[in-house]
């Protein structure tokens, strides 16, 4: 089976950071398929990155290695994690990035470090990518580490905005099942009480509630940016109004 690795970061595409990480992977595993989840996260946006990872990984085959690097603590003593869940392996920093994945079958703090120099500002290339290589090539079982019983875990279960997509849709973590008859959603002082089956059902220039592709409630607008209309940002509290 061709090894598969996904790559998620806040590196953007203006600089060479994404290319350098991929170069490390491909120089050691040239047959690997690398799938980009996104590199356009707002810098340091751990919640959005974690949401995209958690809502994407299950569409990949079991055995996929998921490399996630949104790492405002790069170069500090924050731990390097290997997380295993439902046949998938996740590699990244212990900063709450994997909060949506917990509980997981296994969380390991990796103490192994690759030979050679390591940049204190680019662990994605110099630590996480080599670790992903070891996992892709089947050497992960030999990576030194210890069980981590208390990884950093953000409170991602409280009703909140977890992502704003490129269309300006305000994505929450509230299950669509909570959107009962007559229910409304309040965000940043704006109450939206109009449920819609599709984006096109929302009156032009207005706001509506839709059941998004991840199975959670989204505040959307018809050909407009709902996030700008309500002043929403990731991490903002959201409430259900009876």
Q: From first to last of the 242 residues of the chain, give the pLDDT tens digit.
A: 789 999 999 999 999 999 999 999 999 999 999 999 999 999 999 999 999 999 999 999 999 999 999 999 999 999 999 999 999 999 999 999 999 999 999 999 999 999 989 999 999 999 999 999 999 998 766 688 999 999 999 999 999 999 999 999 999 999 998 877 667 999 999 999 888 888 999 998 899 999 999 999 999 999 999 999 999 999 999 998 87
CB atoms within 10 A of CB 93: 25
Give the residue from 89, 102, 176 showing the smallest Cα distance to 137: 89
Cα separations in angstroms, 189 against 106, 192, 236, 239, 241: 40, 10, 11, 10, 12
Rg over alpha carbons for the chain, rounded to the nearest Å, is 19
> Which part of the chain is CATH 3.40.50.10790?
4-147
Evaluate if pTM is beyond 0.85.
yes
| CATH superfamily, region 161-241 | Bacterial fluorinating enzyme like (2.40.30.90)
SS3 (DSSP) at 227 = helix
- CA angle, residues 234, 105, 67, in degrees to nearest 5: 50
* pLDDT score for 140: 67
* pLDDT score for 49: 98
- Tokens, residue 199: 């984006």
**Domain 4-147, CATH number (from 3.40.50.10790, 3.90.1200.10, 3.40.830.10, 3.40.50.300):** 3.40.50.10790
* pLDDT score for 194: 81
């Amino acid at each position: 089976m061709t090894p598969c690795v996904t790559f998620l970061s806040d590196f953007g595409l203006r600089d060479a950071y994404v290319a350098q990480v991929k170069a490390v992977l491909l120089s050691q595993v040239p047959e690997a398929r690398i799938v980009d989840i996104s590199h356009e996260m707002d810098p340091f946006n751990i919640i959005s990155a974690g949401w995209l990872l958690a809502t994407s990984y299950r569409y990949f085959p079991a055995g996929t290695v998921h490399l996630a690097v949104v790492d405002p603590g790069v170069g500090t003593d924050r731990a390097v994690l290997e997380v295993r869940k439902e046949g998938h392996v996740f590699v990244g920093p212990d900063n709450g990035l994997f909060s949506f994945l917990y509980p997981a079958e296994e969380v390991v703090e990796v103490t192994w470090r690759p030979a050679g120099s390591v940049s204190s500002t680019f662990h994605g290339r110099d630590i996480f990518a080599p670790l992903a290589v070891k996992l892709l090539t089947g050497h992960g079982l030999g990576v030194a580490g210890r069980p981590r019983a208390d990884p950093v875990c953000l409170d991602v279960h409280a009703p909140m905005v977890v992502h704003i997509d490129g269309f300006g849709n305000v994505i929450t973590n509230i299950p669509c099942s909570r959107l009962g008859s007559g229910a409304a959603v309040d965000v940043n002082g704006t109450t939206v009480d109009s449920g819609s089956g599709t984006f096109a059902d929302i009156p032009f220039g207005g706001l509506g509630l839709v059941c998004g592709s991840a199975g959670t409630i989204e505040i959307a607008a018809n050909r407009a940016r709902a996030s700008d209309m309500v002043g929403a940002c990731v991490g903002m509290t959201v409430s259900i109004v009876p």
